[in-house]
Amino acid sequence: MQGRNRANILLVEILIALLFFMLSSTVLIRLFVAAKTQSHMSLVGTEALAEAQNVLDTLKASEKPEEELKNFGFESAHGVWVRDNKNYVLRAETTTHEFAAGQLWSCELTAYYNRDTELFSLNAERYWGDAK
């Protein structure tokens, strides 16, 4: 009778240890998946930032920024320029303010990860001394 009790206790201990390892592995797998997702998002953000800086630098140097946006592959929809890449979307909102001495052009470029999570937003402005 005592041998059976020891065998049952050993079996319960083995089952508890197995349950503990299963729970631990579940937590670790979730951590690895979260780390991979965060790493991918960081890589996409770095790529989007490099492209956004390139676009804004070109726009600031251009006499016709809207044409440059078209050259970069942006499409206009109701005054908002959008470029959809594989992992991120660049969205540029441009405004022009007329003054007596010239005009001020400004652009806010925002990058989104998977079309819904905002990564960053950059601004650029340019002033022309003569009214056009």
Summarize pLDDT for 23-76 with one digit per residue, the tens: 999 999 999 999 999 999 999 999 999 999 999 999 998 888 889 999 999 999
Q: What distance in Å separates the CA atoms of residue 77 and residue 84, rounded to the nearest whole number? A: 13
Q: Indicate the pLDDT class of residue 102, thresholds 50, 70 and 90.
A: confident
Asked whether residue 132 carries a pLDDT value surpassing 60, the answer given is: no
Q: Which pair of structure tokens corresponds to residue 60? A: 């600031």
Asked whether residue 7 carries a pLDDT value surpassing 70, the answer given is: yes
Q: What distance in Å separates the CA atoms of residue 38 and residue 30, rounded to the nearest whole number? A: 12
Q: What distance in Å separates the CA atoms of residue 45 and residue 48, rounded to the nearest whole number? A: 5
Q: What distance in Å separates the CA atoms of residue 118 and residue 54, rounded to the nearest whole number? A: 19
- Domains of the chain, by residue range, sit at 2-128
56 near 122, Cβ under 8 Å? Answer: yes
51 near 88, Cβ under 8 Å? Answer: no
